[in-house]
Amino acid sequence: MADEVVLSTRQLVKRYGSRIAVAGIDLEVRRGEIVGLLGPNGSGKTTTILMLLGLTEASHGEARVLGRDPMRDPLSVKRAVGYLPDAVGFYDGLSAATNLVYTARLAGIPRPEIRGRIDDALARVDLTEHADRRVATFSRGMRQRLGLAEILMKRAQIAILDEPTAALDPHATLEFLAMIRGLKDAGITVLLSSHHLDQVQTVCDRVALFREGRIVLSGTVRDLAAQVLGGGWVIDVATDLPDAEAAFRGVPEVQAVTQVEPGHWRIQARSDIRNAVAAAVLGARGTLLRIGLAEPSLAEIYRRTFEEEATHVAA
């Protein structure tokens, strides 16, 4: 079940007149994953999302959400998918609960169940005590959480979140990211579009990098690091060994060694060679102060990818 593809596109294209917004996207998302969509403004992320929801028609190609075509079976797709647009809007004059009642009725939730589902959803996003307050008095973060409550109330199988943390303060962002992880724990597949690379790296299992309507890279951060940075493993070592660089270079699989600061080294390798590095330090009668795997940085991958693209285009 975990490998079941719940969302896929094949050569999906969207044209607006002569302008191509999405230029043939192939994407697969498996059940329970959190997949991040990254890319600059206008790179086709939101248009792709709208096509997956059946809110705009594809010019070419196909999309499948839980095995259904969003353009031909939009109601089935929308019943199973929750959508949180950036800067989500609610009816300011109505309370949080009344806003959700309206959506629940549109979603076709049986009336006897509505109250219970709303109470449960509001509790999960910590808005229970604000249920009867007018949304006009809500902060931006509370509105975003109310948007998540709507997805939970619908019992959506897939949550599509478009720039959900774009205008949140750091505290609200951390809360919101924790709630996104909560969606995964609840078995909900998440498609997260964002500009915030660090946030995407924190919560996403896989990422897809968009550029000019195409996905130029996709996979786990480690896969992307291997593709873009040329090595999948970065090991941080702290030692008092005077000639540490020579010792490290003698270890098989090492690709590069750089000194970050005195006594602190960073080793790039083809595999996880922490044991061999530790043995090399101890074998040279040095003291191993610290050793650990450094996560490849999505920001670095992103920067390198778009730098390479720019160089390629310039050439």
Partner 1 sequence: MSRREGSPWAGVGTVMAKETADHLTSVRMRLLEALVFLTALGATYAALRSIRDTVGQDPFLFLNLFTLSQAPLPSFVAILGFLVPLVAIALSFDTVNGEFSRRTLGRLLSQPIYRDGLIFGKFAAALLTLVIALVALWLAVIGLGILLLGLPPSTEEIVRMAGFLLATIAFGGVWLAVGLLFSTLCRSPATAALSALAVWLIVGMFWAPITSMLADIISGPLMGPMGPNIGHVETAQALSRISPNGLFGEIAVAILNPATRTLGPVLYSDLDGALIGAPLPAGQSFLLVWPQFTALIAAVIVLFVLAYLVFLRQEVRA
39 binds partner 1 (CB under 8 A): no
289 binds partner 1 (CB under 8 A): no
105 binds partner 1 (CB under 8 A): yes
76 binds partner 1 (CB under 8 A): yes
Handedness of CA 213, 214, 218, 221 (dihedral sign): negative
Contact window for partner 1 (CB under 8 A) among 98-106, 179-187, 214-222, 292-300: 98-106
72 binds partner 1 (CB under 8 A): yes
89 binds partner 1 (CB under 8 A): yes
- Which residue in the set 42, 102, 169, 292 belongs to the binding site for partner 1 (CB under 8 A)? 102
Measured CA to CA, the distance from residue 236 to residue 267 in angstroms comes to: 6
Closest distance to partner 1 from the beta carbon of 83 (Å)? 4
- Residues 44-63 close enough to bind partner 1 by CB under 8 A: 46, 50, 53, 55-56
- Which residue in the set 74, 141, 263, 286 belongs to the binding site for partner 1 (CB under 8 A)? 74
Footprint of partner 1 (CB under 8 A): 46, 50, 53, 55-56, 71-76, 78-79, 81-85, 87-93, 102-103, 105-108, 147, 150
